[in-house]
């Protein structure tokens, strides 16, 4: 009976579901449906999309909505579901309430999507005109009022349900860091903040109630709505400065900086237009998105970035060096600490994944992005499962891959039948707040990042790297740009590692050549077989991160940059 249900249920999703929501969904329906995401469909031609939907087997098609903001995607999801071959279409709300809809209902809602599409195009045209004006005028001269300790933080991303990943940790780290430094933070965003302290004043910005097509034009409608709602809010007071985490096609910080007459601090983690082109789905309106980035960079009074590679890129984009502050991503060492969890809590988590008590758990945590190298780890696991099964069994090695994302299909393909073997657990998307416990339940942590395929320099500063270090575990990582710098000095995989190398008081990790499966296997084997050395490396890593890479260090660098550049002496 269960086999039949597994075959007939399918689910159409806008974003990856968290493991908690997915588990609730599957428990409610007593099925494990196959999931088809909008991101998968976007990569297809119209003909291919329609053919996929119509041939997509299943008597019932579920449309799960994990949070209230996801309702904006409903007309799009309903329209796509109407083109499917499913007999029944069922919307599943955040509280597991169910609503069956007809194809006629979906077609009616298509009209709402059409109106939203027209509105989004008008917004894009308006933004294009406004951006041309902003790129032709000089930056307003605003200075920091040191007596005002109020910050307006803008999180302008138009994506929902993201509860895990480096961006979540970075936002929480910076905001909480400002609070710890005595500032008051007004936080404006479309969704409730994650892992922020209670002292933060949250201001909800209403997103578009219905999304239109093409999807990227919704960003420009949100840009206008974001600015309008902040300006018209009676609850937001004039801040000392505005801090915006740059997001795709959004320059709200520029508008609001000029409106309030205060400086703009812009956080730049790389070009979102470049990321879309090289790591995701290229933007149809790429040049317009680049214009938004250029305007934000031109009018920002201070630009904060996370690596020297990005600093060089900013200089090439005509940002004056004196307006740039560089500091890597960091960690909260009180949240990520090996002493935080009891043995019972750790054993309970292991039990939930059917991991035996004395297993040596080798863990990767990430959003399975283009740069994370999760597929390299999958190749290493498959090689060890096929060629070193006896060694895996005798050492009780278990691989724990935490997260979900773009590269997950590649990971599952590489693992093949071993994806569901006793050696491997794929957890799915886990909320950021639960990441520390997963790391505490691990013995060895892996960061197999890979170089950019287009040959450009790797510009990232992986938040997970610093979280790994703070947990005091043995780390195997790619020696790639900043990753290699932070984890130096380290043990390098070569012929000497087999000859009882000495771990001195400064070494913090085992370093491998990016993309090299053999070296990754050797690094994992070494730490599994040398738990004492793994412990020394872990202790060194935690000491280094506390001394140099806490969010207090990061925020202090930003405040120093503000006072050096924006105080009117």
Element containing residue 154 per DSSP (H, E): strand 150-155
Structure tokens at 292: 């938004």
HSE, CB side, 13 Å, CA atoms: give it for residue 168.
Answer: 22
Q: Among 53, 40, 5, which Cα is nearest to 26's?
A: 5
Q: How many CB atoms lie within 10 A of CB 111?
A: 10
Q: Cα–Cα distance between 404 and 465 in angstroms, integer?
A: 17
**Integer CA distances (angstroms), 7 to 57, 59, 98, 236, 435, in order:** 8, 9, 20, 52, 33
pLDDT by residue (tens digit) across 111-131?
778 888 899 999 999 999 999
Question: Could you tell me whether strands 98-101 and 88-92 are parallel, antiparallel, or unpaired per DSSP bridges?
Answer: antiparallel
Residue in the structure block whose two tokens are 């780390």: 475
Contact 476, 444 (CB under 8 A): yes
* Burial readout 311-321 (b: 16 or more C-beta within 10 A, e: otherwise): bbbbeeeebee
Which residue bears the tokens 């995701």?
Answer: 280
Q: Which tens digit of pLDDT belongs to each residue from 363-387?
A: 999 988 888 999 999 999 999 999 9
pLDDT surpasses 50 at 495:
no
Q: How confident is the model at residue 5 (pLDDT cuts 50, 70, 90)?
A: very low
Any bridge partners for residue 402, and if so which?
A: 365
Neighbours of 304 (CB within 10 A): 25
pTM (whole model) above 0.95: no
Q: pLDDT tens for residues 439-474? A: 999 999 999 999 888 788 888 889 999 999 999 999
CB 566 within 8 A of CB 144: yes
**pLDDT value for 4:** 40
Q: What is the pLDDT of residue 192?
A: 80
Which residues are CB-neighbours of 519 under 8 A, at least 6 positions away?
493, 512, 513
Distance CA 74, CA 64 (A): 10
SS3 content of the chain, % helix, strand, coil (to 5): 50, 15, 35
Averaged pLDDT for residues 72-79? 78
Q: Tokens 């520029």 sit at which residue?
A: 254
- Would you state the structure tokens that stand for residue 345, as one six-digit string? 């809590």
Q: Band of the pLDDT at 3, cuts 50, 70, 90?
A: very low
Q: Tokens for 21?
A: 């929501």
Asked if pLDDT for residue 478 goes beyond 70, the answer is yes
Is the pLDDT score of 161 beyond 60? no
Written as six digits, the tokens of 277 are 């082109």
Nearest 5°: phi and psi at 277?
A: -70, -40
Contact 158, 218 (CB under 8 A): yes
- On average, the pLDDT of the chain sits at 89
Would the pLDDT of 108 be above 60?
Answer: yes
Q: Is the dihedral of CA 376, 379, 385, 386 positive or negative?
A: negative
The pLDDT value given to residue 41: 73
What pLDDT band is residue 1 in, cutting at 50, 70 and 90?
A: very low
Q: Are 290 and 313 a contacting pair, CB within 8 Å?
A: no
Cα four-point dihedral sign 111, 116, 122, 125: negative
Residues shown for the chain: 569
Over residues 333-348, mean pLDDT: 94
- CA gap 528, 384 in Å, rounded: 13
Q: Are 269 and 305 in contact (CB under 8 A)?
A: yes
pLDDT higher than threshold 70 for residue 265: yes
CATH code that applies to domain 150-330+552-566: 3.40.50.2000
| Mean pLDDT, residues 38-44 taken together | 71
What CATH number belongs to 343-548? 3.40.50.2000
pLDDT band at residue 7 under the 50/70/90 scheme: very low
């Amino acid at each position: 009976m269960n086999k039949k249900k597994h075959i007939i249920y399918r689910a159409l999703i806008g974003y990856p579901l968290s493991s908690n929501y997915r588990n609730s969904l599957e428990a409610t329906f007593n099925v494990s449906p196959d999931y088809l995401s909008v991101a998968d469909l976007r990569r297809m031609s119209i003909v291919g999309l329609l053919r996929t939907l119509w041939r997509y087997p299943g008597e019932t098609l579920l449309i799960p909505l994990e949070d209230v903001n996801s309702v904006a995607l409903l007309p799009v999801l309903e329209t796509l579901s109407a083109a499917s071959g499913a007999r029944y279409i069922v919307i599943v709300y955040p509280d597991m309430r169910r609503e069956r809809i007809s194809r006629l209902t979906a077609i009616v809602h298509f009209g709402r999507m059409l109106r939203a599409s027209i509105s989004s195009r008008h917004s894009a045209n308006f933004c294009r005109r406004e951006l041309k004006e902003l790129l032709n005028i000089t930056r307003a001269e605003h200075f920091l009022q040191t007596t005002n300790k109020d910050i307006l933080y803008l999180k302008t991303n138009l994506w929902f349900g993201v509860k895990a990943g480096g961006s979540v940790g970075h936002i929480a780290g910076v905001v909480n860091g400002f609070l710890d430094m005595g500032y008051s933070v007004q936080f404006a965003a479309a969704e409730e903040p994650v892992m922020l302290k209670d002292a933060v004043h949250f201001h909800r910005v209403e997103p578009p109630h219905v999304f239109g097509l093409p999807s990227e034009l919704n960003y420009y409608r949100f840009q206008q709505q974001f600015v309008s709602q902040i300006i018209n809010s009676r609850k937001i007071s004039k801040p000392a400065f505005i801090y915006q985490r740059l997001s795709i096609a959004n320059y709200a910080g520029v508008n609001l900086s000029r409106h309030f007459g205060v400086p703009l601090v812009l956080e730049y983690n790389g070009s979102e237009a470049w990321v879309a082109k090289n790591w995701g789905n290229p933007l149809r309106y790429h040049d317009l998105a680049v214009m938004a980035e250029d305007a934000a960079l031109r009018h920002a009074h201070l630009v904060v970035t996370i690596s020297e590679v990005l600093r060089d890129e900013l200089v090439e984009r005509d940002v004056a060096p004196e307006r740039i502050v560089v500091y890597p991503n960091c960690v909260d060492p009180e949240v990520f600490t090996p002493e935080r969890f009891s043995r019972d809590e750790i054993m309970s988590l292991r039990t939930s994944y059917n991991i035996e008590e004395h297993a040596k758990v080798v863990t990767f945590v990430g959003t399975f992005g283009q740069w994370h190298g999760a597929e390299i780890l999958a190749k290493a696991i498959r090689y060890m499962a096929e060629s070193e099964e006896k060694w895996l069994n005798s050492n009780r090695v278990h691989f724990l891959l935490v997260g979900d994302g773009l590269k997950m299909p590649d990971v599952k393909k590489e693992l093949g039948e071993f994806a569901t073997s006793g050696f491997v657990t794929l957890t799915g998307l886990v909320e950021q707040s639960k990441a520390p416990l997963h790391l505490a339940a691990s013995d060895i942590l892996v960061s197999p990042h890979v170089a950019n395929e287009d040959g450009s320099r790797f510009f990232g500063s992986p938040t997970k790297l610093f979280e790994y270090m703070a947990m005091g575990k043995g780390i195997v990582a790619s020696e790639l740009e900043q990753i290699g710098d932070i984890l130096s000095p380290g043990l390098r995989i070569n012929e000497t590692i087999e000859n009882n190398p000495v771990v001195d008081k400064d070494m913090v990790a085992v370093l491998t050549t990016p993309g090299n499966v053999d070296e990754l296997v050797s690094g994992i084997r070494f730490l599994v077989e040398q738990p004492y050395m793994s412990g020394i490396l872990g202790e060194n890593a935690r000491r280094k991160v506390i001394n140099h890479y806490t969010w207090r260090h990061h925020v202090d660098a930003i405040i120093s940059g503000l006072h050096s550049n924006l105080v009117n002496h």
